Amino acid sequence: MSDEKIKNRIEFDNYLDAKGLNCPLPILKTKVLLNKMSVKKILFVEATDPHSKIDFEAYCARTNHEIIKFDLTNGIYSFYIKRAENPKKI
C-alpha cells in the first residue's frame, strides 16, 4: 500500500463489501449493519453501483448517519459512514 493510501485511510469498525450489488441491496445491507453497530462507530462500505453516491447521500440525510469520507477509485465507490447517535427510522 502506498504512503498516500495509508495517510488517507480512516480507521473503521465494520466493513461491508457491496461490490457487484445493485440498488437497493447496498443500502439495505448498510442499514442492517448500522442498526447493529454502536453509536459513533464507523462503517466502511465499498460498492460498484453507479447510483451509490446519490443513494448513500440520500439515505444518510434521512437517517442522520454521517458520511465522513467518500472516494471513487477505479469504479469502486468507498464510503466511511459514522453511525448516528439517534438515527431516524425510515
**CA-to-CA distance for 88 and 67, rounded, in angstroms?**
15
Number of domains in the chain: 1
User: Which structural domain, as residue segments, surrounds residue 16?
Assistant: 3-82
Q: Residue 58: enclosing H or E segment and its boundaries?
A: helix 52-63
Cβ-count burial 42-67 (b if 16+ within 10 Å, e if not): bbbbbbebeebeebbeebbeebebeb
Q: Which CATH number fits the domain that encloses residue 36?
A: 3.30.110.40
Note the pLDDT of residue 1.
46
The active-site residue out of 23, 37, 67, 84 is 23
Concerning whether 60 is annotated as a catalytic residue, the answer is no
- Per residue in 63-88, pLDDT (tens digit) is 999 999 999 999 999 999 999 999 99
Give Cα 81 to chain centroid, integer Å: 5
**Domain presence at residue 42:** yes
pTM of the model: 0.89
Note the pLDDT of residue 3.
44
Note the pLDDT of residue 90.
79
Note the pLDDT of residue 8.
63
**Domain presence at residue 89:** no
Average confidence (pLDDT) per 10 residues, the chain, 90 residues: 56 97 95 96 97 96 97 96 92
Share of the chain above pLDDT 70, in %: 91
**Domain presence at residue 87:** no
